[in-house]
């Protein structure tokens, strides 16, 4: 099926098709489709748009990556299917390394993602994660990391994450940036900076904002990153959801009850 451009949910259908293609290509896990469904529901509640606090979080996150000494972008099966070109571009703009790190890790899927990223323009030596040689204090496959990548990083972008690794990375003293449409998730709360936005909008925004800040002195970049209040941004996202739908239920109940 190819979604017709005239369909009111065209963009949303396109994203689904890209993930289904990702599953067929052995890049995305089947569980990734379920995870996407949860994200899609929150995106619907947010009005499928980038809210102001998400733009501010994206700017702080871009500043954090630019100021970091060893920034790393962690890529999973959903991210590889949805934003391969954009992840590569973000790594170029910020000087960050790319490391594949999977929750449902299989060696075939790691290889498929690495090949997919290479086909999108990353040269072989730039992708980490195929041969992990260090570990994080976790009892699942996300523990397998590269000593020169995530393990040594001072700032890590972990989009569409599970809370465990986010907490583990934070407790190792790293700055953790996540992109998660669910402002109530453990990940959202544990991260240094959470961008409550769809990854397909957030990464292009980060690229644009990072370009705008290129050349700023390190202390200015750190100031921008440190000024960000994660708790306040999460509360703002919840307020946006409430104000988006305020009165909606009351109207419908009223209409149903009318003679
Ligand atoms: O490729 P793998 O094996 O590493 O697996 C990746 C998934 C995403 C399946 C794995 O990390 C997982 O199970 O994640 P969770 O715990 O379901 O969390 C995913 C979070 O991402 C949820 O809070 C969703 O709301 C959110 N999310 C889903 N799709 C998007 C999203 N956030 C931003 N943009 C999206 N497109």
Least confident of 4-18, 70-84, 89-103: 4-18
| Token pair 């949303």 in the structure block, residue | 12
Residue at 155 is within a domain:
yes
Q: What is the CATH number of the domain that holds 218?
A: 3.40.50.12640
Residue at 251 is within a domain:
no
165-213 pLDDT, tens digit per residue, is: 999 999 999 999 999 999 999 999 999 999 999 999 999 999 999 999 9
Residue at 105 is within a domain:
yes
pLDDT band at 250 (very low <50, low <70, confident <90, very high): low
Pocket-testing residue among 35, 43, 101, 140, ligand 1, by greatest number of atoms within 8 A of Cβ: 35
Ligand 1, CB cutoff 6 Å, lining residues:
29, 31-32, 35-36, 38-39, 42, 76-78, 102-104, 160, 162, 179-182, 185, 198-199
Give the pLDDT confidence score for residue 10 in this predicted structure: 87
Q: 174 alpha carbon to ligand 1 midpoint, in Å?
A: 21
Give the atom of ligand 1 at the shortest distance from the alpha carbon of 102: 4
Domain range holding 126? 52-242
Number of domains comprising the chain: 1
pLDDT band at 259 (very low <50, low <70, confident <90, very high): very low
Residue at 250 is within a domain:
no
Residue at 89 is within a domain:
yes
Residue at 42 is within a domain:
no
Q: What is the pTM of this model?
A: 0.94
Residue at 190 is within a domain:
yes
- Highest-confidence range of 58-72, 157-171, 239-253, by mean pLDDT? 58-72
- CA dist 126 and 118 (Å) reads 9
Give the atom of ligand 1 at the shortest distance from the alpha carbon of 31: 9
157-167 pLDDT, tens digit per residue, is: 999 987 889 99
Q: Which two tokens stand for residue 62?
A: 């871009």
Pocket-testing residue among 51, 78, 132, 161, ligand 1, by greatest number of atoms within 8 A of Cβ: 78
Q: 178 alpha carbon to ligand 1 midpoint, in Å?
A: 11
Choose among 114, 118, 154, 158: nearest CA to 132: 114
Residue at 172 is within a domain:
yes
Dihedral of alpha carbons 241, 242, 248, 253, sign? positive
**Hey, whose CA ends up nearest to atom 20 of ligand 1?**
160
Q: Which is higher by pLDDT, 126 or 18?
A: 18
Give the pLDDT confidence score for residue 236 in this predicted structure: 97
């Amino acid at each position: 099926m190819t979604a017709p451009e005239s369909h009111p949910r065209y963009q949303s259908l396109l994203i689904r098709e890209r993930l289904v293609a990702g599953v067929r290509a052995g890049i995305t896990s089947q569980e990734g489709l379920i995870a996407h469904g949860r994200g899609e529901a929150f995106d619907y509640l947010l009005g499928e748009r980038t809210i102001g606090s998400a733009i501010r979080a994206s700017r702080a996150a871009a500043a954090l990556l630019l100021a970091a000494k060893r920034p790393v972008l962690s890529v999973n099966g959903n991210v590889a299917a949805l934003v391969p070109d954009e992840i590569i571009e973000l790594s170029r703009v910020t000087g960050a390394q790319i490391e594949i790190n999977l929750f449902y890790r299989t060696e075939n899927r790691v290889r498929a993602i690495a090949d997919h990223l290479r086909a999108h323009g990353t040269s072989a030596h730039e992708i980490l994660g195929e041969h992990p040689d260090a570990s994080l204090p976790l009892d699942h496959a996300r523990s397998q990391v590269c000593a020169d990548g995530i393990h040594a990083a001072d700032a890590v972008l972990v989009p569409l994450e599970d809370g465990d690794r986010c907490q583990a990375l934070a407790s190792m003293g790293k700055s953790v940036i996540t992109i998660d449409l669910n402002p109530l998730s453990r990940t959202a709360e544990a991260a240094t900076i959470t961008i409550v936005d769809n990854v397909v909008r957030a990464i292009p925004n980060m690229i644009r904002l990072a370009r705008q800040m290129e050349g700023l002195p390190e202390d200015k970049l750190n100031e921008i990153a440190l000024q960000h209040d994660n708790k306040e941004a999460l509360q703002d996202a919840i307020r946006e959801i409430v104000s988006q739908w305020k009165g909606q239920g009351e109207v419908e109940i009223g209409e149903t009850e009318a003679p």
